[in-house]
């Protein structure tokens, strides 16, 4: 909202959206297009949206496209085939995937973490962070990932696992906000709560992406610094 007298803007929170809010959005769109969406289809679409009204609207749009509904029809049409949702999920996985894969590549190529030890290679912790987030998938990040857990995951696969210290992880996670800013990742995907020592996803479209994408394929597409 704009406040002329103060010459500044203020934020007005509009989330979280309730399930009834999502259904009202679906009902309003259905009325405009003269269609009826099956109750189960709407419920499944809400579940697939990860509490994001933007994702929900995008899925509904592609459900309509899949069903051949491009404008308001003369006769009311009912849409309830779950195949239309599956088609919509495939489309949005590709759409979100392009952006999030670029972002993960940018994070993975971030500043080198940890000093070179003798003739050994650097730690390359941003790369390993991106890799473990992908390989542990939605379940690994859905409720946030604790620093200790991420540290354990990284040390399990790291080329210098014994050399990855707690302070290295603190610097890595604490620097993520700046790294995402430097790499022009906007909106940011991750935020680190230093008090809770918890890495969290702050872009709900990433939940959708990591739930439906082929994680192994994405990992393979990220430049591995050990292979340079």
Across the chain, how many H-helices and E-strands are there? 10, 7
Residue that has been written with the tokens 């949702």 in this structure = 85
pLDDT digits (tens, 9 = 90+) for 169-208: 999 999 999 999 999 999 999 999 999 999 999 998 999 9
Sequence spans of domains, the chain: 9-80, 97-227
**Tokens 């540290």 belong to residue:** 151
- Taking only the tens place, the pLDDT of each residue in 141-177 is 999 999 999 999 999 999 999 999 999 999 999 999 9
Give the model confidence (pLDDT) of 93-152 as tens digits: 999 999 999 999 999 998 654 555 556 788 999 999 999 999 999 999 999 999 999 999
What pLDDT sits at residue 16?
74
Q: 118: which 2 tokens?
A: 């003798």
């Amino acid at each position: 909202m704009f406040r002329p007298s103060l010459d500044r803007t203020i934020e007005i929170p509009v989330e979280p959206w309730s399930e009834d809010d999502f259904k009202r959005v679906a009902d309003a769109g259905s009325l405009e297009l003269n269609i009826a969406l099956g109750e189960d289809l709407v419920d499944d679409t809400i579940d697939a949206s990860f509490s994001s009204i933007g994702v929900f609207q995008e899925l509904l749009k592609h459900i309509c496209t899949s069903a051949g509904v491009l404008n308001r029809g003369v006769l009311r049409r009912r849409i309830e085939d779950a195949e239309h949702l599956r088609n919509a999920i495939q489309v949005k996985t590709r759409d979100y995937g392009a952006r999030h894969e670029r972002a993960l590549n940018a994070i993975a190529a971030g500043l080198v973490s940890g000093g070179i030890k003798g003739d050994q290679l650097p730690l390359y912790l941003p790369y390993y962070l991106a890799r473990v987030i992908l390989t542990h998938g939605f379940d690994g990040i859905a409720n946030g990932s604790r620093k200790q857990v991420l540290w354990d995951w990284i040390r399990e696969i790291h080329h210098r696992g014994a050399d990855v210290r707690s302070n290295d992880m603190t610097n890595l996670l604490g620097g993520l906000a700046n790294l995402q800013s430097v790499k022009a990742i906007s909106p940011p995907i991750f935020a680190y709560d230093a008090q809770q020592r918890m890495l969290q996803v702050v872009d709900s479209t990433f939940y959708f992406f990591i739930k439906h994408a082929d994680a192994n394929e994405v990992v393979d597409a990220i430049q591995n610094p050990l292979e340079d």
